[in-house]
Amino acid sequence: MTKQSNVKILFGANVKYHRNRLKISQEILAEKTNLHRNYIGEVERGLRNLSLENIYKISKALGVKMSDLLDFE
C-alpha cells in the first residue's frame, strides 16, 4: 500500500526511469520542461511535492502520460 510519504519518492523514481530510457540528461529534461535543473534533480530524489502542472510538463517532455508517472499503486 503506497503511503503518502512514499508518493514523492515513487514519482521521482518513475521520472528518472523514463529520463534514462530516453538517454537524456537532467539538463536536457530541465530545458524541455523550462524547469530548473536542480528542481529536476530534487524531483528525482523524491524531495519535491510538485504540482499538477509540473507533473504535466515533465510527462510531456518524457513523452509519457501523466498517469504513467503515477502507476506505482
53-57 contacts, C-beta under 8 A, 24 or more apart: 55/11, 57/33
Contact 69, 55 (CB under 8 A): yes
Nearer to a second copy, 1 or 23 (CB): 1
Residues that bind a second copy (rule: CB under 8 A) add up to a total of 20
Nearer to a second copy, 19 or 48 (CB): 48
Among 22, 24, 28, 70, binds a second copy (CB under 8 A): 70
Residue 58 interacting with a second copy (CB under 8 A): no
- What mask of x and - would describe binding to a second copy in positions 15 to 44, judged by CB under 8 A? ------------------------------
- Which residues are CB-neighbours of 50 under 8 A, at least 6 positions away? 8, 11, 43, 58
